[in-house]
Amino acid sequence: MKEINKSVLKSASNSLLFDMTDEQYAVLEKEFTILLKQMDLIGQTQGIDDLEPMTFPFDVATDSLREDVPSEPLPRDVALQNAKDVVDGQIKLPKVVG
């Protein structure tokens, strides 16, 4: 594995089009040292390769959905009452694409 030092971090940050102060690089280097020690400790755990990777840490049960009950839509004036700018019964939005 490539050693994590200031020059590697500086190269990575420049690739992502940002830079940091020397103090920030020093803090990040210390954090990577801790992270690499933790990764090494996890790698030394017996039987770790036999386990299936987790994509989400909790069991999620989505076996029941609510019934879709049709209802009357809101009247237009009620739906538009809190809109900041209304033109011809529609909400006017600022231009997004040049």
Number of structural domains found in the chain: 1
- Give the global pTM: 0.50
d(CA 45, CA 22): 35
Asked whether residue 85 carries a pLDDT value surpassing 70, the answer given is: yes
94 in a structural domain: no
- Does 39 reside within a domain? yes
Residue 57 lies in a domain: no
82 falls within a domain: no
pLDDT at 72: 93
Higher per-residue pLDDT: 62 or 43? 43
Residue 82 pLDDT > 70, yes or no? yes
Which residue range is the domain that position 12 belongs to? 6-50
Alpha-helix residue ranges (DSSP H) falling in 44-88: 76-80
Question: Is 13 in contact with 20 (CB distance < 8 Å)?
Answer: yes
Number of other CB atoms surrounding residue 29 within 10 Å: 14
* 2 pLDDT higher than 80: no
For residue 87, what are the β-bridge partners?
90
Residue 18 counted as domain residue: yes
